[in-house]
Structure 1
């Protein structure tokens, strides 16, 4: 299970990076501030804290973080690639 989580986390990171490059953002902060997926960002922040604070380190919070990250990516794709690319370079 740990290996699957690591693969999904790597894939999510690669997908976000590819989207940022495709949309041509100069500053990652602008990219994240411009997405409407703010409920996902709030949950990701909460889950991130849970992962950091979990003792001993257990897989469940990390798995939940990855699932939420994938939902965040899906929300960005839906928003961005349906015509809203505010914040992108011209």
Structure 2
């Protein structure tokens, strides 16, 4: 996902409603998120499906690493020899 371009990637909800099709195409092709505001405050962030998949995969990876580190800290590990026996 590319970084946000402040001058182009923050739009009001009314602008989004009026130009939704074009903006959806732009998000998909540019891989830049679109911040949608409501009453002058950020209300939503729109990203492409492929960028969502990437973020989801990265989050799952980070979670798996964190769980592994927690297992090591809590002594929930097995030796290489025991692993070889199990396999």
> What is the TM-score when the length of structure 2 is the normalising length?
0.29
Higher share in strand: 2
> What is the TM-score when the length of structure 1 is the normalising length?
0.28
Structure with higher RCO (Cα < 8 A, 6+ apart): 1
Higher share in helix: 1
